[in-house]
Amino acid sequence: MTTLDRDATVYVAGHRGLVGSAVWRHLEREGFTNLVGQSSHELDLRDREATFEYFAKTRPDTVILAAAKVGGIMANSTAPAEFLSDNVRIQVNALDAAHEFGVRRLLFLGSSCIYPKLAPQPIREDSLLTGPLEPTNDAYAIAKIAGVLQVQGMRRQYGVPYISAMPTNLYGPNDNFDLRTSHVLPAMIHRFHEAKVAQAESVTLWGTGTPRREFLHVDDLARACLFLLENYDDPAPINVGVGEDLPIKELAELVAEIVGYEGTLEWDTSKPDGTPRKLLDVSRLHALGWTAEIPLQQGIRETYAWFTASAM
């Protein structure tokens, strides 16, 4: 166990996003007094010179790399070149700068989409690079795999205790609710809310509703980030999830109930389902002593409350 200095400089890359903002809130609650971060408009991590200048100026002791270009099936399918190029540049620049300026601890956050489309369920960390990826987000997955391998390479070459974690599907305050680019859960919240307001008779969703997904509240992930920085030091990526999943159809019914939409649900089976199932094996994380705390129904209620108060 390595307790982080609460007065040392901690750089949260992507601190305005879903994950970064949750990490920032949690670190503040835990007594960290010198958090630093800049929005993507203030610092473009794709710009190598600007990234190195920022690290030289702030000299962070610890970095949580939560900055990324993210999106749902539609966004990934229509802009794969951008998803690969932007994310690789963000990661390479930030990781190289971390080494150059003596960052002591670093956590790289990847995604469960790095694993093969048909990996045995629940997905163990050693499933990485054992089969083909899901085609709808393979470019993003390749970028995140590159980040994992760079962390491992830096450990071997430089001896730095940098680590990587693979969260499952996330949701919560500050999520992206844009219907064109959001992930499935926030998109459902937005669509069902609009349908309720408009008193629409039905809502049509993509796919068959049969794929199974696991959902982790971002505040739980934020707790896991600090826990791992203080309790985990291994080249292998570690999964972060709840260890339970449900069919997309059941998720849609749950979201509709919480939002208060009473119309019918229809499914456009001409649209892609994505990976049939994506449940993470979280036994390694549980063995370290960490488990998720926020039940899905409670988390969706809180997220919908935030959406209606802040995002509309």
Query: Is 235 labeled as ligand-binding?
Result: no
Query: Is 15 labeled as ligand-binding?
Result: yes
**What is the per-residue pLDDT across 229-257, written as a single tens digit (0 to 9) for each?**
999 999 999 999 999 999 999 999 999 99
Active-site residue 232, yes or no?
A: no
Q: Name the percent of the chain lying above pLDDT 90.
A: 88
As a whole number of angstroms, the distance between CA 17 and CA 13 comes to 9
Per-residue confidence (pLDDT) for residue 33, from 0 to 100: 98
Domains present along the chain, CATH in parentheses: 10-172+215-243+279-294 (3.40.50.720)
As a whole number of angstroms, the distance between CA 63 and CA 229 comes to 10
Per-residue confidence (pLDDT) for residue 312, from 0 to 100: 56
Per-residue confidence (pLDDT) for residue 224, from 0 to 100: 98
Q: Using the predicted structure, report yes or no on whether residue 200 has a pLDDT greater than 80.
A: yes
**What is the per-residue pLDDT across 105-132, written as a single tens digit (0 to 9) for each?**
999 999 999 999 999 999 999 999 999 9
At 153, the pLDDT band (50, 70, 90 cuts) reads: very high
Q: Using the predicted structure, report yes or no on whether residue 73 has a pLDDT greater than 80.
A: no
Q: Using the predicted structure, report yes or no on whether residue 207 has a pLDDT greater than 80.
A: yes
Which of 11, 54, 115, 140 is flagged as catalytic? 140
Query: Is 18 labeled as ligand-binding?
Result: yes
**Through-space distance between the first and last CA atoms of the chain, rounded to whole angstroms:** 43
Query: Is 77 labeled as ligand-binding?
Result: no
Q: What is the pTM of this model?
A: 0.94
Comparison of pLDDT for 89 and 181, the residue scoring more: 89
Cα–Cα–Cα angle for 27, 185, 248, rounded to 5 degrees:
130
Query: Is 223 labeled as ligand-binding?
Result: no
Quote helix, strand, coil % in the chain, to nearest 5: 45, 15, 40
